[in-house]
Amino acid sequence: MATQQVETVSTSADKVKLGVAALLVVGAVVGFYLLSKQGAVIQWIALLAGLVAAVAVSMTSEPGKEFVAFGRDAWREAKKVVWPSRKEAMQMTAYVFGFVVIMAIFLWTTDKLLEWAIFDLFLGWRK
């Protein structure tokens, strides 16, 4: 039985929050450049403060909450992954390199055979 995913409609409050977050990002960048005479430390503090404020505002909106939930789900799924041991990883890497070498030899041989057949036999350019 397939489950249906219900999508929520973005409210105007969420749109306003995301708009304010975008304005905070723009303000942070503008502040960074306007504060160039104050020194690099003040510039970076202003930029980071603006970006942190933008993230905080955006996380209060529904899309921000969904993003955080997605991140949690992704982290939970990543914990379920069974990673190969070092020995298995080295073996698979060796198999891949071996296959690449075999394919390179095969393609080089095929290329040379076709070159010989086309240019020497059919066209007679190399005599």
* Cα–Cα distance, 51 to 100 (Å, whole number): 46
Convert 62-85 to b/e letters by CB count within 10 Å (16 or more is b). Answer: eebeeeeeeeeeeeeeeeeeeeee
What's the alpha-carbon Rg for the chain, to the nearest Å?
A: 29
Does pTM top 0.75 for this prediction?
A: no
Cα–Cα–Cα angle for 59, 61, 65, rounded to 5 degrees: 60
Tokens of 7: 């999508």
Please check the confidence at residue 9 and state whether its pLDDT lies above 70: no
25/126: higher pLDDT: 25
Please check the confidence at residue 11 and state whether its pLDDT lies above 90: no
**Residue 27, CA atoms < 13 Å, CB-side half-sphere:** 13
In the three-class reduction of DSSP (H, G, I as helix; E, B as strand; rest coil), residue 4 is classed as coil
Distance of CA 21 to the CA centre of its chain: 23
DSSP for 79-93?
Answer: HH--PPPHHHHHHHH
Q: What is the pLDDT of residues 80-109, one digit of tens each?
A: 999 899 999 999 999 999 999 999 999 999
pLDDT category at 120 given cuts 50, 70, 90 is: confident
